[in-house]
Amino acid sequence: MKQAMVRLDEFTEEHLELSDLWRWQDGAREDVFLVPLATAAEVVPGVSLLLVRALFRLPARIELQGLLAYDPLGQDVHAVQVLIGRDSYALNKYLPEASFEEVLALADRLKVSTGGVLPMRYSVVRQAMPIPDGSFTLWLGAGVNAGSC
């Protein structure tokens, strides 16, 4: 696939139509770019992170699109990027406090409570990678689920 890279801060819902599978650009640069992949066969062995197109179902019965941050080595989804048009909301289970700010912003955008955002169910679009359907939530402090705040 010879499609152009997309700057992460310019990545929108429209870019999801270019590919169901993305990776970070090689090398360190000031700006972060995403590179579309045609198929899972293009995944380099030992790669530590892929971005996979997914459908998100929120407790508020809202469906949205975005990307799963998937670690193929650990077979773990550790972050999601929810896209609404040109707006993006990044949630990372390893950065729960910062991610909760994103949950608040997403809840405000959707006009729902935080319990209407998390936990969100996800499923891979068109099976770009063999990732089973699952659920994503954040845990803050001593076992407080962000979805119930």
| pLDDT tops 60 at residue 70 | yes
In the block, tokens 């006009």 appear at 111
124 belongs to a structural domain: yes
pTM score above 0.75: yes
DSSP assignment of 96-124 equals: HHHHHHHHHHHHHHHT--GGGTSSEEEEE
The verdict on residue 92 lying in a domain is yes
| 1 domain-assigned | no
Domain that holds residue 40: 6-148
> In angstroms, rounded to a whole number, what is the distance separating the alpha carbons of residues 148 and 144?
8
pLDDT of 27 strictly over 70: no
| Total structural domains within the chain | 1
Residue ranges in the chain assigned as alpha helix (H):
96-110
| Residue-wise pLDDT tens digits, 82-133 | 999 999 999 999 999 999 999 999 999 999 999 999 999 999 987 778 899 9
> Do the domain assignments include residue 82?
yes
Asked if 118 and 92 touch (Cβ cutoff 8 Å), the reply is no
